[in-house]
Each structure stands twice: as structure tokens, then as C-alpha cells.
Amino acid sequence: MKVLLTGGAGYIGSHTAVELMTSGYDVVIADNLSNSCKEAISRIEELGGNKVSFYDIDVCCKMEMEKLFSEQDIGACIHFAGLKSVPESTSMPLSYYRNNLDATLTLLETMQEFGVKKLVFSSSATVYGVPKSVPVNEDADTWCTNPYGWTKYMSEQIMRDAAKADESLSIILLRYFNPIGAHESGRIGEDPQGKPNNLMPYISQVAVGRRDKLYVYGDDYATPDGTGVRDYIHVVDLAKGHIAALEYAEKNPGCIAVNLGTGLGYSVLDIVKTFERANDIRVPYEIAPRRPGDVDTLYSDPSRAEKLLGWKAEKNLEDMCRDTWNWQKHNPKGYRE
Ligand code: NAD
Ligand code: UD1
């Protein structure tokens, strides 16, 4: 089957493309390279052992999307395309709503026009806002604290409504927790532009000498060591979760949300220490004030993914730290060597 990956040149999309190709799927990628680069496509082909049909287009452009769908016999779509920085979304909310919602609507309309019925969507644990309790399952209340989060919340609602109106649609809303790590080859990985917002890319840039030290945002949270606790998941496990979701969508119409996480919570200092131990390298850090909008603890109840999709994360924190470093040390400046 031919699968369209919007945003497939990005961090999670590139890893999913490789897993799909090695599982026998044909991959078509639509990406405007606004947060990625063409080199990722060559590396996906190298690891996937096959050619990718690549369209350098904006998913918000209906004409370009119609052209793609008329040239390719798309059987299912995975919708990664979107802007993803929380702080940027608070300073440029209109760009985030325009891009992320327009991309969702344009994709759904084009799928409808061409009779494509299966869709997997990149949602986020951000839709849980400040959870009442952990682990958080899919029935927990949803509410957001920033425009990026609202674009996920609204896209989910649009998809639920679309599936209600067309009972032959199958849509899986994958709520990712904190994806980190890289393909074990070190050929593809996360390549943030400018200063990273997220913890793991910041740590690996400190380790490789691009930044002096890590700032740990707060050590007075109600957690065992005072630093924030999250559910980190290896990006290759996450990628495999998309294949499991596609297989589920084949047989089950409707729209359902599924957490992709490990169910384990690790603190910022757990990550720093594991990174140092796994890679035998020092990561200097300093305690800094809390970052606005952060919560103490957030980790998933991943049991629905296991029950419905037959999927479970397999890699541990050491694997995540080792593979992140393997990517970073071989690509100190990311894809732009
Ligand atoms: P990424 O930025 O690496 O990948 C997104 C890709 O989408 C990029 O290659 C970008 O060029 C492309 N893109 C953006 N807008 C586009 C448009 N209008 N048309 C065509 N291409 C467009 O991000 P990622 O980390 O791979 O995340 C993938 C998806 O998963 C995003 O929707 C993100 O919000 C979501 N998500 C990511 C995380 C995370 O921690 N990385 C967590 C939860 C959810
Ligand atoms: C953030 C976003 C979330 C998004 C996710 C993936 C916020 C409030 N949330 O999640 O919406 O889905 O990224 O893109 O931005 N930390 C440091 N120093 C750093 C960076 C982070 O101490 O330089 C700490 C944070 O305070 C937090 C933990 O590390 O406790 C993880 O942070 P991060 O990687 O940014 O992920 P989230 O905040 O969980």
C-alpha cells in the first residue's frame, strides 16, 4: 500500500518513513521543508532501501495536494505536517492556527475528494494540559495552555466530526508523549533550527560543545528530585506505533485517541545522569527558574495502545540516550554539514 506522509521529512516522519519502507509499504512524502531539509529524504531512501516519491509542497495548497493525489494511488495518510514550537506559537499564534488547521482541513478535503479513508494524526500529550492525576489515559479531560496545543485540540475535534459524518472513515489520533532518540544507524535524527526548546536536543548540543551548559528549569517541583518528570519515548518505538495504528485503521472505522508513551516517568536529572553514563560524557548543568507553563509530572497510561493496537514501547532510557548521542556526534551540525 502507498502511504502519504505529510511532514515526512521531519524528525518523527523520517523515522516512520524508514519503518514503513522496511515493512513493505511504499512511501510518498509531502513536505515544504519549512523545518527540515532535502538531505533527510536521501537518508530515508538509504535506510529504507527504496525510492520515496517526494513532493516539495505546502500541504495547505489544495491544488498541489490534488495534483499529488491524482498522480499517486494513496491508500492511507499519516499527518505529521505542522509547526510545533510552544514558545513560538505564543508569539505567532495566527501563523500556527493558519498553518496547522489549514493543513488538517486541506488534507481531509483532498482525502474526501479522492475517497481515501484511513488517517493517522500526530496529536500530542499537550492536549491534557495540566492533568488532574497521572498516569493519564485517553478519557482524561483535555484543555490547552498555548496556541500550539489548541491547534492539536482543534484538529482532533475536526477529525472526530469528519468521522461522525462519514462512517467509513478510520482516524487514529496518536497522542505522543516526549519523543527522543534517533535511528540506531545515526543517519537520521532530530535537527532543531536555532536554540532547542526541548530537553534532549539541548543536552546533546551541550555534549557536542555547541552550548556551554544545560539550564534545568526548576528544582522545586513536587517530584522525587524536584525536577520535572516526563514520559520519554524512543522515536523508533513511536514510528512503529504508526504502523500498528495503520493496521488497526484498516479494520476499524471511527475515530479514536491513543496515547503513545512508555508509562514511565523520568526527571530532568535522571535524563542528564543516564545520558552521561550511557555515553561516558559530561553534561554540565545549572539550576534555573521554572519555565512558565511547565507541569510537575506527566506520564501516560499506554494500555489502550497495547490492547487495541498490539503495540508497546520496547526501548529503554539508555537506548534513547545512546542513540541520540550517536546521531549528534556523527552529525554535530545536523543535516547541514
Ligand atoms: P518536525 O518539525 O521535525 O516535522 C514536521 C514537518 O512538517 C517538517 O518537516 C516541516 O517542514 C513540515 N511542515 C510544516 N508545515 C507544513 C506545511 N504546511 N506543508 C508541508 N510541510 C509542512 O516535527 P516532528 O517532531 O517530526 O513532529 C511531527 C508532528 O508531531 C508535528 O505535527 C508535531 O506537532 C507532532 N508532535 C511532535 C512532538 C515532538 O516532541 N517532536 C510531540 C507531540 C506531537
Ligand atoms: C514540550 C511542550 C509540549 C510539546 C513537547 C514536544 C511546553 C510547555 N510543552 O513538552 O507541548 O508537545 O514539548 O514538542 O513547552 N527542560 C529543562 N531545560 C531545557 C529544556 C527542558 O530543564 O533546556 C525541562 C522542562 O522543564 C521539562 C522537561 O525538561 O520538565 C521536558 O521538557 P521538554 O523537552 O521541553 O518537553 P515538555 O515540556 O514535556
- From 214, 193, 185, select the one nearest 276 (Cα to Cα): 214
Closest ligand 2 atom, residue 178 Cα: 6
pLDDT for res 122 = 98
Three-state secondary-structure class, residue 124: strand
**pLDDT at position 336:** 85
**pLDDT score of 337 more than 80:** no
Backbone angles phi, psi at 90, to 5 degrees: -80, -25
pLDDT confidence of residue 322: 98
Q: Which of the ligands is closest to the CA of residue 230?
A: 2
299-317 core/surface letters (b: 16 or more CB in 10 A; e: else): bbbbebbeeebebebebeb
Proportion of the chain above pLDDT 70, given as a percent = 100
134-158: average pLDDT: 97
Q: What is the mean pLDDT of the chain?
A: 97
Return d(Cα 147, Cα 262) in angstroms, integer: 26
Q: How many Å lie between the centroid of ligand 2 and the Cα of residue 42?
A: 30
For residue range 227-250, what is the model confidence (pLDDT) as tens digits?
999 999 999 999 999 999 999 999
* Residue whose CB lies within 8 A of the most ligand 1 atoms, among 4, 5, 6, 11, for a mutation test: 11
Nearest protein Cα to ligand 1, atom 15: 82
Kindly tell me if the per-residue pLDDT of 226 is higher than 90.
yes
- The pTM of this model reads 0.98
Q: Which residues line ligand 1 (CB under 6 A)?
A: 7, 9-13, 30-36, 58-60, 80-84, 99, 103, 122, 124, 176, 179
The strand pairing partners of 29, in sequence order, are 5, 54
Integer Cα distance of 110 and 181 in angstroms? 33
- The reply to whether ligand 2 has any atom less than 6 angstroms from the CB of 179 is no
pLDDT digits (tens, 9 = 90+) for 255-314: 999 999 999 999 999 999 999 999 999 999 999 999 998 999 999 999 999 999 999 999
Q: Which ligand neighbours the alpha carbon of 31 most closely?
A: 1
How far away, in angstroms, is 232 Cα from ligand 1 center?
18
Q: Which pLDDT does position 6 carry in this prediction?
A: 99
Contact 156, 128 (CB under 8 A): no
For residue range 173-196, list pLDDT tens digits in order: 999 999 999 999 999 999 999 999
- Of 55, 96, 128, 148, the catalytic one is 148
What pLDDT, on the 0 to 100 scale, is given for residue 158? 98
pLDDT digits (tens, 9 = 90+) for 319-332: 999 999 999 999 99
- Given a cut of 80, whether residue 127 has pLDDT beyond it is yes
Ligand 2 atom 33, closest CA: 198
